[in-house]
Amino acid sequence: GAVVSQHPSWVICKSGTSVKIECRSLDFQATTMFWYRQFPKQSLMLMATSNEGSKATYEQGVEKDKFLINHASLTLSTLTVTSAHPEDSSFYICSARGDSSGNTIYFGEGSWLTVV
Amino acid sequence: GQQVMQIPQYQHVQEGEDFTTYCNSSTTLSNIQWYKQRPGGHPVFLIQLVKSGEVKKQKRLTFQFGEAKKNSSLHITATQTTDVGTYFCADNQAGTALIFGKGTTLSVSS
């Protein structure tokens, strides 16, 4: 079946630095990918919708200048957390719709970000 | 915007007891998906319900979709310690992102 690969799985960075997380669809083309954030003991909250070749659509309350999303190809979307702060520490996970009907959704393995 | 409510937030049971989590929406759900997330892991797809009144079973798990497609439930019979985790329902509308409920965290003591 379709696979979505996310990298890195774990990352620790210093406050003020930037971190890039990659989300790849390995055996299908994904024109749309979704980025979620999950704080401990909370649900997955949609951050943005990544559209190949165009600007991402951000959910209300998500800073687009802080969470840069690039979807330059049909198999890769990246999320860059710029000038990271400890409050950005969270679990970030991407997903993509894997077939023409759009009903099948595949999730990456997620990325644990810790900002120290 | 649309919200998907899920109750209870937490549930603790003794091994062998049954467990049920409920998912409700004020608007009609398109397709409902259920996920399980183990502590420290990522959500794992369990099942999708599409039709009004649909009931699906996976071993000890029974999934139901309400007649009005505004609610769904997941029932686990005779829980085991391996059932521990957080169960999420999510509304799956074609072309858009999944909208997740807040999840029900299940703990099981042996």
Per-residue pLDDT reduced to its tens digit, B42-96: 899 999 999 999 999 999 999 999 999 999 999 999 999 999 999 999 998 877 8
Question: What is the spatial distance between Cα A65 and Cα B64, in angstroms, rounded to a whole number?
Answer: 42
**Percent residues over pLDDT 70 in chain B:** 98
Kindly state the average pLDDT of the residues A81-96: 96
**Taking CB atoms and an 8 Å limit, are B100 and A32 in contact across chains?**
no
Q: How many CB atoms lie within 10 A of CB B89?
A: 32
Question: Testing the interface with B: which of A9, A105, A111, A113 to mutate, by most B Cβ within 10 A?
Answer: A105
**Nearest C-alpha in A relative to B32:** A103
Residue closest to B107 by CA, chosen among B77, B82, B73: B82
Rounded CA-CA distance A23/B1 in Å is 27
What mean pLDDT comes out for the span A11-26? Answer: 96
Amino acid at A71: H
Number of H helices, E strands in chain A: 0, 11
For residue B7, the model assigns a pLDDT of 97
DSSP B15-70: TT--EEEEEEESS--SEEEEEEE-TTS--EEEEEE-STT-EEEETTEEEEE-TTSS
Interchain CB contact of A98 with B (< 8 Å): no
pLDDT at A29: 87
> What number of other Cβ atoms are within 10 A of residue A108's Cβ?
26
Q: Output the pLDDT for position A99.
A: 60
Q: How confident is the model at residue A1 (pLDDT cuts 50, 70, 90)?
A: low
Q: Which residue of B has its CA nearest to A112?
A: B40
For the segment A23-46, what is each residue's pLDDT rounded down to a tens digit?
999 988 888 899 999 998 899 999
**Residue type at position A32:** T
Q: Tell me if chain B has a CB within 8 Å of the CB of A42.
A: yes
Distances in Å between the Cα of A9 and the Cα atoms of A74, A114, B40, B100 are 22, 11, 11, 22
Express each pLDDT in A45-73 by its tens digit: 999 999 888 889 999 999 999 999 999 88
* Digit-coded pLDDT (tens) for B8-46: 999 999 999 999 999 999 899 989 999 999 988 889 999
CA geometry: angle A93, B100, B62, nearest 5 deg: 110
pLDDT of residue A56: 93
CA–CA min distance B84, chain A (Å): 14
> What pLDDT score was predicted for residue B97?
86
Q: How many CB pairs under 8 A join A and B?
A: 45
Average pLDDT of span A86-108: 83
Q: What is the pLDDT of residue A100?
A: 57
Rounded to whole angstroms, the Cα distance separating B43 from B85 reads 10
Please answer yes or no on whether A44 and B102 come within 8 Å at the CB atom.
Answer: no
Of the candidates A43, A49, A103, the beta carbon closest to that of B97 is on: A49
